[in-house]
């Protein structure tokens, strides 16, 4: 494995472990076993767990928001944009045993135990998702597609919270089909 490949493999293994079990249940030993390298090699790339978590949050945020931006900028109608957005959460949950949630959702549940940079990154992830949802909601309202009372910012926060929290709950019961049903019901409430 080259140095870049090793670092990527570490990040990939850590992300997989956290999305299924949480950060507090993930150790360098688990990563070591998952990819077959010594713990010292992991410490070479990420001297502390906080450094690893911060790198993960940054990488995941860039990737996820890139997907969201492509949805927001697409020619799709606003309802289809919201469906596609919800589909990102559904796709993650549908992998494997339907026990995988959004990385930042899992880390958000453990926020008080995380280091400062990772915690700040998670807050940024949440804010940036809501900003993009506001754009879709305002676009839908301007087109006469969506009807909602109150501020778009609060509706966006509600939708984001429903998807992040809904994914965690759906891991326990109903899986991605339950999350899909929740997203569709939310869309019905918005449509005129």
pLDDT of 161-190, one tens digit each? 999 999 999 998 888 999 999 999 999 999
Give residue-wise pLDDT tens across range 32-84: 999 999 999 999 999 999 999 999 999 999 999 999 999 999 999 999 999 99
* pLDDT more than 90, % of the chain: 89
- What does the alpha-carbon distance between residue 14 and residue 31 come to, in Å, rounded to a whole number? 6
pLDDT at residue number 98: 80
What lies within 8 Å, CB to CB, of 152 at 6+ separation is: 134, 137, 138, 141
pLDDT at residue number 132: 98
Confidence bin at 1 (pLDDT 50/70/90): low
* pLDDT more than 70, % of the chain: 98
Q: Pick the closest to residue 111 from 170, 24, 31 (CA basis).
A: 24
Query: In this structure, what token pair is assigned to residue 107?
Result: 């880390």
pLDDT at 2 over 70: no
pLDDT at residue number 4: 62
- What does the alpha-carbon distance between residue 167 and residue 90 come to, in Å, rounded to a whole number? 8
Query: Model pTM greater than 0.75?
Result: yes
């Amino acid at each position: 494995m080259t140095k870049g490949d090793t670092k990527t493999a570490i990040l990939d293994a850590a992300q997989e472990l956290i999305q299924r079990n949480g950060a507090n249940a993930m150790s360098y030993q688990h990563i070591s076993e998952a990819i077959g390298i010594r713990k010292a090699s992991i410490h070479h790339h990420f001297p502390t767990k906080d450094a690893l978590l911060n790198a993960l949050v940054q990488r995941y945020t860039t990737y996820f928001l890139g997907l969201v931006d492509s949805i927001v900028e697409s020619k799709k109608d606003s309802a289809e944009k919201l469906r596609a957005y919800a589909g990102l959460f559904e796709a993650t949950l549908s992998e494997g045993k339907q026990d995988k949630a959004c990385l930042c959702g899992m880390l958000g549940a453990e926020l008080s135990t995380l280091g400062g940079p990772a915690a700040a990154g998670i807050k940024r992830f949440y804010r940036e998702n809501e900003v993009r949802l506001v754009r879709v909601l305002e676009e839908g309202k301007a087109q006469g597609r969506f009807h909602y009372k109150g501020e778009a910012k609060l509706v966006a926060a509600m939708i984001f919270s429903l998807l992040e929290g809904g994914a965690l709950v759906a891991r326990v019961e109903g899986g991605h089909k339950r999350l899909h049903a929740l997203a569709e019901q939310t869309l019905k409430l918005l449509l005129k």
